[in-house]
Amino acid sequence: MLNQILGWLRHGMNTCTSALLTAQLLKRAEPVLSVSQVPVVVVAPHEDDETFGCGGLIALKRQLGVPVTVVFVSDGGGGYQEGTTAPPDIVAVREKEALEATGVLGVPVEHVQFLHYPDTRLGKLDEVDRRRLVSTLTECFNQHAQLEVYVTHQRDLHPDHEATCRAVMEAVSRSSSQVRLFEYPIWIRWMGKFHRNLQWSDFPGLIKVSIAPVHATKLRAIQAYTSQIGMLGRAHLRCYEQVWEIFVERPRPHQP
Interface ranges with Zn ion (CB under 5 A)? 45-46, 49
| Residue whose CB is less far from Zn ion, 49 or 97 | 49
Burial of 37 per CB tally in 10 Å (0-12, 13-18, 19+): exposed
Q: Is 68 helix (H, G, I), strand (E, B) or coil?
A: strand
Q: Is 126 exposed, middle or buried (0-12, 13-18, 19+ CB in 10 A)?
A: exposed
Residue closest to Zn ion (Cβ): 46
Smallest separation (angstroms) from Zn ion to the CB of 93: 16
What's the closest the beta carbon of residue 59 comes to Zn ion, in angstroms? 20
Contact assessment for residue 57 and residue 209, using Cβ atoms and an 8 Å cutoff: yes
- Least distance from Zn ion to the Cβ atom of residue 89, Å: 19
Pick from 176, 252, 209: nearest CA to 35: 209
For Zn ion, give the closer residue by CB, 39 or 45: 45
56 or 76: whose CB is closer to Zn ion? 76
Give me the amino acid identity at 208: K
Whether the Cβ atoms of residue 59 and residue 105 lie closer than 8 Å to each other = yes
In terms of CB distance, is 74 or 177 closer to Zn ion? 74
Helix (H, G, I), strand (E, B) or coil at 125: coil
- Using CA atoms, how far apart are residues 39 and 214, in angstroms rounded to an integer? 18
Q: Smallest distance from the beta carbon of 17 to Zn ion, in angstroms?
A: 19
Beta carbon nearer to Zn ion, 49 or 148? 49
Minimum distance, C-beta of residue 213 to Zn ion, in the bound complex (Å): 26
- Number of other residues whose CB lies within 10 A of the CB of residue 11: 12
